[in-house]
Amino acid sequence: MNLVPHLPALQVVVPLIAAPLTVLLRRRSVAFVVALLASWVALAISIALWLQVAHSGTITYAIGSWPAPWGIEYRVDRLNSFLLVLVSAIAALVLPYSRASIEAEVPPQQHYLFYTMFVLCLTGLLGIAITGDAFNVFVFLEISSLSAYVLIALGRDRRALFAAYQYLLMGSIGATFLVIGIGLLYLMTGTLNLADMGQRISNVQGTRPVLAALAFITVGVSLKLALFPLHQWLPNAYTFAPSAVSAFLAATATKVAVYVLLRFYFTVFGESAVFAKLPMEQMMLVLALAGMFAASTIAIFQTDLKRLFAYSSVAQIGYIILGLSFDSVSGLTASIVHLFNHGITKGAIYMLLGCVAVGMGGTSLARVQGLGKRMPLTSFGIVIGGLSLMGVPGTAGFISKWYLLLAALEKGQWWLVFLIVLSSLLAAAYVWRFVEAAYFREPRKDTADVAATPWLMSVPTAILVIAIVYFGLDTSFTIGTAADAATALMGGRR
């Protein structure tokens, strides 16, 4: 049987089947192997899909051979194949890492549940990315969200429960808003297929329900992607979740939500004149800038590294939304490439912080004093991640910043150019909080016997840190794909 035509379905089905298997098999080492295999197969499939799309264009796949728009359609183009690679690659790296990481953070009898929830979350995120059906987006969003709540609640600190609860409340509001928006669109266009919706919406453009749908979807998705000021859930969630979960969610969850926003804005609303009626660009611009500056400033005053970098994530999401607000090919390229670059950067940083938590017994700035002496390589890795957040040349972050600056210049907006570089200086300020603690303070006595980092943790982390530098130097994969995707999206906009 030839599986190649069915790769789009398998992309989601493989981790979906792995989830109940881990529950049935129960033994944590077996569950680990199943989850690991599922994530690696998912990675292989996503790379195959990316290659296929790069080679011969968009793939459509009718689930159960029910043709669109009646059945559910999976649709893989340059944009979401790129995202699939990001999500599955991060999962494939975080899973082996989690084996050793949750040892210290999650009670052993819950380990198999961790793997179940992890592959379910992966299923949800991959599903959101691959599906071409609006209601399906909502369903997969719920799958990924519900499993994410559980994953966060597994954190050792009791405050993890509160963090998960907070995320659950905010996430549910977001999902409800999204489904209201989708419902309104369904009412007006009579279809749930995203591409079809984009065609038919021109007949009803500018009507009040469509505008309302736009508003509901914007707010709902913005909650999920933690757009300032709807980011309240994020710092707690990232801080109190187990390290592996922080790493996985920080690198993927918000990025997939941004993708949903891009998909609705450009594929669905793209052809209608909705944007002409509402100052969407200006609104997004203001929110993005507010996020970049407010969250970075808050980050400077944090005393825990996980929380510090969580606020940094809110700020970096500001960059992504800023690129989107330019409504130009280079702006969108910046957004899309920053999805990836920030994903790997933040993933690496949270994985490193997990190593720190294991070695030093915590991630507060007071505890990581002298980290440069205690764990020189880990500490250096965090510095590299920090440089990428600042956008120093030679790191992935620089590439995103370059395109963002270019997009601002194309619009002739010099003041934005300066605001962008100014905000990267704020990043320098919060990164330097870490540098000074790690290199200019004597290590504490109680961190004298640092536990060696298990190789299962250090190897995947090192791969991701190297990726930060690699994608700062070789941009053929990232920019190549992002530029194509941006051009295609802007094509839909006309």
Residues that bind another protein (CB under 8 A): 387, 391-394, 399, 402, 405-406, 409-410, 414, 417-418, 421-422, 424-425, 428, 432, 436, 439-440, 473-475, 479
Burial of 226 (0-12, 13-18, 19+ CB in 10 A): buried
The encoded tokens of residue 304 equal: 């825990």
Residue 165 or 439 with smaller CB distance to another protein: 439
The residue among 254 and 475 lying less far from another protein, judged by its C-beta, is 475
Give the residue with the Cβ less far from another protein, 48 or 421.
Answer: 421
Taking the C-alpha atoms of residue 167 and residue 232, their distance in angstroms, rounded to an integer, is 9
User: Looking at beta carbons only, is 157 or 410 nearer to another protein?
Assistant: 410
CA distances from 434 to 62, 117, 156, 383, 465 (A): 50, 32, 24, 8, 17
Residue among 331, 341, 420, 421 nearest 384 (CA): 341
Residue (40 or 439) nearer to another protein, CB: 439
Assign 3-state DSSP to the chain and report helix, strand, coil percentages, each to 5.
80, 5, 15
Neighbouring residues of 461: CB distance < 8 A, sequence distance ≥ 6: 97, 348, 351, 352, 354, 355, 378, 381
What is the nearest approach in angstroms of another protein to the Cβ of residue 417? 5
Nearer to another protein, 240 or 434 (CB): 434
Assigned token pair, 153: 């609640």
CA distances from 50 to 59, 213, 306, 462, 491 (A): 10, 32, 33, 24, 20
Token pair belonging to 238:
């990232």
Q: Are 178 and 249 in contact (CB under 8 A)?
A: no
Q: How far is the CB of 201 from another protein (least distance, A)?
A: 35
Peptide bond just before 454 cis, omega within 30 deg? no
CB of 439 to another protein, least distance (A): 8
In DSSP terms, 206 is beta-bridged to none
Task: Report, in Å, the least distance between residue 242 CB and another protein.
Answer: 33
Minimum distance from CB of 405 to another protein (Å)? 4
Closest to another protein by CB, 51 vs 422, is: 422
Q: In this structure, which long-range contacts are made by residues 274-280, counting pairs with CB atoms below 8 Å and at least 24 apart in sequence?
A: 274/205, 274/206, 274/210, 274/211, 274/214, 275/327, 277/206, 277/211, 278/211, 278/214, 280/214, 280/218
Q: How far is the CB of 145 from another protein (least distance, A)?
A: 36
Task: Kindly state the smallest distance separating residue 433's Cβ from another protein, in Å.
Answer: 11
Q: Closest approach of Cβ 429 to another protein, in Å?
A: 9
**273 or 409: CB nearest another protein:** 409
